[in-house]
Structure 1
Amino acid sequence: MKRNILAIAMLLIPTGWAVPSDAANPEHVRQVIETRFCIGCDLSEADLSGVDLRGANLGGSDLYEANLQDVDLSGANLTDAHLDSTDLRRANLKGVILEWANLEGANLSGANLSSVNLEWTNLGKTNLSGANLRRATLNDFDMDSLNLCGATMPDGSISTVGCEE
């Protein structure tokens, strides 16, 4: 009986190493909103939806699982940024610098990626349905891992890749 109580107690005691905290640094969130400049910042899981970040410099920043829905990032520098699993639905990314950025598993449905160079960007398992990719530069990637259904491709054609038949 004592062992059962001890085992249950051990399960209920919170441990600092069991669940790491990946939440954004509040000071970094304030800095990016106020100055649009935050190189190498921890913005993971931050809610920046609808924020005007035109021309922001977020190079090398961690935006893992951040909410960037409807954000205007046009002309921003996101070189080497970690945007994996980030929500960028309907975001304006026109002319953004995304070299060496990680967008694996990101949701970019309905986003504007016109004139963006995606040559050195990780796009694995990315949702680009309905995205605008006009005049974008794309690298060689596995199209099977992307949802491009309804996306406007660089040549102006509409993609059917990822559309269910």
Structure 2
Amino acid sequence: MRLKFAITSTLLALMCMTIPAAAENPAHVRQLLETYFCQGCDLSGADLTQAHLIGGDLRNANLRGAILVEANLEGADLTGADLTGANLSSAFLTNSCLNDTNLTGVNFSKSIMYHAEADNALIRNVTLTDAEIYETPISIGGPIIIDEE
């Protein structure tokens, strides 16, 4: 009996470890894609590859680990958003607002970011390989917090 319980427990534990869990709230993802308004939404880990979010309202959204590869965030307001570990490679961020955001570990490789705001953003371990960043505090050393912990 104990052996059967131990085997069952072990198998259940292994299954839980191998099944990836979707952390994002599917209703929030749907809301964002339909309305471009998702203030305070849980979009952590969401796959938003090539999403067109022009002028989107993502203030205070949880975008931890989100996949925003080739996403169009032109004019989007991400004030106070948590983008820790997000992948924004080849994303378009012109005229976006990144004020007070957490950009720890964000991949901005090949992204285009002109005239974006990033006041008081926490920028740590970001990847900027081949990114085009102009007239943005990230590129000119403006009023941002860089923590190289």
- TM-score w.r.t. length of structure 2: 0.83
SS of aligned partner of 1:133? strand
Partner of 1:76: 76
CA contact (8 A) 2:67 2:88 kept: yes
Cα offset for 1:79?
Answer: 0.6
Instruction: Tell me which amino acid in the other structure corresponds to 2:9.
Output: M
Larger Rg: 1
Instruction: Report the Cα distance in structure 2 between the residues aligned to 1:99 and 1:63, rounded to whole angstroms.
Output: 15
Distance 1:48 1:42 in 2: 13
The CA distance in 2 between the partners of 1:127 and 1:43, in whole Å, is: 21
Task: Between the two structures, name the one with larger relative contact order (CA 8 Å, sep ≥ 6).
Answer: 2
Aligned length: 142
In the alignment, is residue 126 of structure 1 matched against residue 131 of structure 2? no
Q: Do the aligned partners of 2:123 and 2:145 also contact (CA within 8 Å) in 1?
A: no
Q: Percent identity among equivalent residues?
A: 35
C-alpha distance in structure 2 between counterparts of 1:20 and 1:102, whole Å: 25
Deviation at 1:70, TM superposition (A): 0.7
Task: Tell me, in whole angstroms, the C-alpha distance in 2 between the residues paired with 1:27 and 1:51.
Answer: 16
Q: Taking structure 1 as the reference length, what is the TM-score of the superposition?
A: 0.75
- Does 1:141 pair with 2:146? yes
> How far apart are residue 44 of structure 1 and its match?
1.2
Counterpart-to-counterpart distance in 1, 2:31 and 2:145: 36
Structure 2 unaligned segments of length 5 or more: list them.
none
- Say if 2:93 is the partner of 1:93: yes
- Residues 1:63 and 2:63 aligned together: yes
- Residues 1-165 of structure 1 mapped to structure 2, 5 A cutoff: 3-14=2-13, 21=21, 23-137=23-137, 138=141, 139=144, 141=146
More helix by proportion, 1 or 2? 2
Larger strand share, 1 or 2: 2
